[in-house]
Amino acid sequence: MEKKKPPFFYIPLLLPFLLQFLSLPLLSLAFTPLDNYLIDCGSNANSTVDSRQFVGDSTSTGSVFLSAPRSISLRDQSPPQGPSPLYRTARVFTGVSSYQFQIKKKSTHLVRLHFFPFTSQNYDLSTAVFHVSIHGSLLLSNFSVRRSGGNNNNSAVLKEYILMVDSGKLEVSFTPVGTSGFGFVNAIEVFTAPSDLITDVGIQFISPAGAGEYENVTSQILETVHRINVGGEKVTPFNDTLWRTWIPDEDYLVLKSAAKPASRTRPPNYQKGGSTKEIAPDSVYLTAQQMNKPNLSMTLNFNITWSFPVSPGGVRHLVRLHFCDIVSTALNLLIFDVYIYGYYAYKDLDLSTITSHTLASPYYIDRVIDSDDSGFLRISVGPSEITAPPNINALLNGVEIMRMVSAKGSILPSGSKKKHVALLLGSVLGGSALMCVLIIAVVLEMKRRKKKKKTGSRPGETVAWPSWQATGVRSGSVLYERTGSTSMHLGMKIPFAEIQFATKNFDDNLIIGSGGFGRVYKGVLRDNTKVAVKRGVPGSRQGLPEFHTEITVLSKIRHRHLVSLVGYCEEQSEMILVYEYMEKGPLRNHLYGPNFQPLSWKQRLEICIGSARGLHYLHTGSAQGIIHRDIKSTNILLDENYVAKVADFGLSRSGPCLEETHVSTGVKGSFGYLDPEYFKRQQLTDKSDVYSFGVVLLEVLCARPAIDISLSTDQVNLADWAIKWQKKGLIEQIIDRHLVDQINPRSLKKFAETAEKCLAEYGVDRPTMGDVLWNLEYVLQLHQSGVNREPHEDSAPAASELPLPRVIPRAPSTNIRTEGDSDGNSEVSTTQVFSQLMTTEGR
């Protein structure tokens, strides 16, 4: 069944990139908030400020927002020249009052309150004292503009809040307190934030006790305290993508002579996974402060430090630092450390590797930290110890400091499940018409999930690494030391020099595979162990989460049908995984690869049974309920004896805890194998692996790829096509012609039924891997025992017939027991069983 592959065969592989490309024009449009309420308080006319129209709350349109039984509109009789027209009027409240806004969609919103004290008609606004609250959360208590800096010089005070609105209404309330007896406001802005402005992804909490993942930032009310365009000019709302004001950093520099401004005129290179124009405008990324090195040949070692006034005494803050390498002339030259309060916020930050190997590519990090007692929050950048003298430098482009309005300041966050989102892959692909529909759907989906997209696409963000627990929930993890994070696998560390030796310094002739992650080399260790060496693109932190997942998962589990990890290397910028070498390579190559020798039906069944065992062990064994997420025929490898082993755990993750039924996650996986239910609902269960395994079963039976776009529309998707034939009871018409004479009809029937059940639309209707394994064992029996059974017996084998361990015992060490394998070889040493990892279909 070999076929010529026309050029468009590769379309499925390119589709993710195509989708990204198609979504670009959508993303590059200027931001238009869904909700956009701009109120000019106390005014009976609309006013336009920075091209935005503010509605007077004394007009018929504007008054609907106001619920203030005791309030007056106040007009400044002699307004100063200069300040915004919004500041010529105010609404003065003498009783509890509020503004109410209908919210179209539950999402993060920005709320800005403008206070500009003027004196008019017996009211001196600077004397007002009042509370401001939103939905019962006190944003400002005993607020007085005079005390907040907007005093004698008649300067305005702008308060900005970023908060999740999860009801259909947002209410801002003003309560006058004390002797003043009144409160006021000059203007209010309420608008929907871009969905990626604040996310719960990749945020680190820093404390003296260590660091960990910080969850739930989106459920906090954040008050902007500082917004700084480091090394640059003031950016006014007119020039900002979200009408923000960014001020220069000079006043906050602890030692001005340590810093030297840098700038660039050409626009920044925004990259997927980095920052966006909404997160900060070009002008922030195009200026920076760098180390002021008077003499390039001198070995200067110092930090640049800024000190920002904040509320003292353990008040929790979100610190967002913006970076864009506008100073380097080549990649990988600028590597520096970032500190908050002297703690590492990022060690060895190499922007060029994080942001797709481009310079001048905007990036930001979010860190949560509690203030100390000094009343100042200190941020420093300084050279990394791994940089050499001529390249010593450090830079910072922007700072935002936000106070968490009501966060408790002492609880250390515990890590937990991270929402992974990467490329969304279509599962059902039936010709070009369907493809268009799919593209549109996926583009919409991507837009909708833009917020969540960050994890998968900000590889460098993973400073804290996952460690897996028996419960399946990510535990807290250690920040700072790269070695520390993997210390639990210390025994598996292999020095880089050893790997160079094993691969003859990465000899091209030893390449046995390549893919999204990098290249796979065949190697021989000094003890003559054959290994497969998977080397990430040097210097790239792309795939770092997958790298660590693979180490954590594989270092904990040993099973005859799971490819085992011999070790890994993480020195300097290398990410290398060393596996047992698998002589016969991926299953796929033996089904329809070039120059393949067709496998017999028995061999195929044994391979299916082996991989089902491996998967069953992953799901239920003493391992910890791991979902593989990327089961496909290229991830099932065969050793020299055609023993199947499941490989590539880079996407795998722990299954749901006992009390949960699924893991919410972004869709990852491979075309043609993706569980449609998972695709629709982003809920991952072990039944998603069962679905993918069902596709593999069909591949084994029909000897064709899961997606073959060279075929006619109804045949493109193997699962759809084969199940149609199966439902018609004609499955035998589409099986691999090499099998036609050797396959016994009962065995075929049972096998096809098993595959069909795996492919049930809903996970609940699919069998468990244990059931699948059971059924496949039975298929093998049917095959071997010929035609002596009655048909009614076929559907339910009695348990006594097939003594099968339901839970496969975990192997104690490198010696792996084979559980009643049909070959009868009972003891196999891992050092003799080798695997290779193929990632020929980059994800």
Ligand X SMILES: *[C@@H]1O[C@H](CO)[C@@H](O)[C@H](O)[C@H]1NC(C)=O
Binding segment for ligand X (CB under 6 A), chosen from 250-258, 299-307, 436-444, 790-798, is 299-307
Q: Which of 35, 196, 630, 686 is catalytic?
A: 630
SS (H, E, C) 19-64: HHHHHHHHHHCCCCCCCEEEEECCCCCCEEECCEEEEECCCCCCHH
Asked whether the beta carbons of 101 and 167 are under 8 A apart, the reply is no
Least distance from ligand X to the Cβ atom of residue 333, Å: 18
Nearer to ligand X, 303 or 652 (CB): 303
781 binds ligand X (CB under 6 A): no
81 binds ligand X (CB under 6 A): no
With CB under 6 A as the contact rule, the residue among 22, 49, 59, 794 that binds ligand X is 59
471 binds ligand X (CB under 6 A): no
436 binds ligand X (CB under 6 A): no
Cα–Cα distance between 753 and 14 in angstroms, integer? 33
With CB under 6 A as the contact rule, the residue among 28, 36, 137, 301 that binds ligand X is 301
Cα–Cα distance between 62 and 468 in angstroms, integer? 54
For 7, phi then psi, to 5°, come to -55, -35
- Over the window 247 to 276, marking each residue x when it contacts ligand X by CB under 6 A and - when it does not, the resulting string is ------------------------------
Cα–Cα distance between 502 and 527 in angstroms, integer? 10
Nearer to ligand X, 59 or 67 (CB): 59
298 binds ligand X (CB under 6 A): yes
The closest alpha carbon to 559, from 538, 580, 542, belongs to: 580
Cα–Cα distance between 465 and 485 in angstroms, integer? 6
* Parallel/antiparallel/unpaired status of strands 169-176 and 52-56: unpaired
Least distance from ligand X to the Cβ atom of residue 414, Å: 8
The residues with which 97 forms a beta bridge, in sequence order, are: 174
Q: Could you tell me the two tokens for 321?
A: 């630092």
Asked whether the beta carbons of 180 and 241 are under 8 A apart, the reply is no
Least distance from ligand X to the Cβ atom of residue 681, Å: 21
- How far from each other are the two terminal CA atoms of the chain, in whole angstroms? 26
- State how far Cα 135 lies from the chain centre: 31
Nearer to ligand X, 150 or 459 (CB): 150
Asked whether the beta carbons of 463 and 477 are under 8 A apart, the reply is no
664 binds ligand X (CB under 6 A): no
The C-alpha angle with vertex 346 and arms to 547 and 261, in degrees rounded to 5, equals 130
The C-alpha angle with vertex 380 and arms to 376 and 382, in degrees rounded to 5, equals 165
692 binds ligand X (CB under 6 A): no
- Over the window 203 to 242, marking each residue x when it contacts ligand X by CB under 6 A and - when it does not, the resulting string is ------------xx--x----------------x-xx---
- Over the window 308 to 327, marking each residue x when it contacts ligand X by CB under 6 A and - when it does not, the resulting string is --------------------
* Parallel/antiparallel/unpaired status of strands 376-383 and 304-309: antiparallel
Least distance from ligand X to the Cβ atom of residue 556, Å: 25
Annotation marks residue 821 as catalytic: no
295 binds ligand X (CB under 6 A): yes
Nearer to ligand X, 219 or 825 (CB): 219
Nearer to ligand X, 298 or 441 (CB): 298
Nearer to ligand X, 236 or 573 (CB): 236
What's at 551, amino acid-wise? I
Cα–Cα distance between 706 and 43 in angstroms, integer? 65
Asked whether the beta carbons of 163 and 221 are under 8 A apart, the reply is yes
Element (H, E) at 637: strand 636-638
The closest alpha carbon to 204, from 485, 548, 467, 463, belongs to: 463
Least distance from ligand X to the Cβ atom of residue 485, Å: 20
302 binds ligand X (CB under 6 A): yes
With CB under 6 A as the contact rule, the residue among 19, 55, 340, 401 that binds ligand X is 55
Binding segment for ligand X (CB under 6 A), chosen from 45-53, 112-120, 536-544, 804-812, is 45-53
- How many residues touch ligand X under the rule CB under 6 A: the total is 28
Least distance from ligand X to the Cβ atom of residue 214, Å: 10
- Over the window 362 to 381, marking each residue x when it contacts ligand X by CB under 6 A and - when it does not, the resulting string is ------------------x-
Element (H, E) at 720: helix 718-727
Least distance from ligand X to the Cβ atom of residue 341, Å: 8
Asked whether the beta carbons of 673 and 632 are under 8 A apart, the reply is yes
- Over the window 330 to 349, marking each residue x when it contacts ligand X by CB under 6 A and - when it does not, the resulting string is ---------x--x-------
- Residues in 142-171 that interact with ligand X by CB under 6 A: 142, 151-153
Nearer to ligand X, 393 or 589 (CB): 393
Which class for 78: exposed (0-12), middle (13-18), buried (19 or more C-beta within 10 A)? exposed
61 binds ligand X (CB under 6 A): yes
Binding segment for ligand X (CB under 6 A), chosen from 1-9, 53-61, 80-88, 552-560, is 53-61
Nearer to ligand X, 174 or 679 (CB): 174
The closest alpha carbon to 211, from 485, 421, 507, belongs to: 485
Least distance from ligand X to the Cβ atom of residue 382, Å: 4
With CB under 6 A as the contact rule, the residue among 141, 785, 825, 832 that binds ligand X is 141
For 489, phi then psi, to 5°, come to -110, 30
297 binds ligand X (CB under 6 A): yes
Q: Could you tell me the two tokens for 324?
A: 């864009």
* Parallel/antiparallel/unpaired status of strands 97-102 and 169-176: antiparallel
For 701, phi then psi, to 5°, come to -75, -40
User: Footprint of ligand X on this chain (CB under 6 A)?
Assistant: 45-46, 53, 55, 59, 61, 141-142, 151-153, 215-216, 219, 236, 238-239, 294-295, 297-298, 301-303, 339, 342, 380, 382
Please give the positions annotated as active site. 630
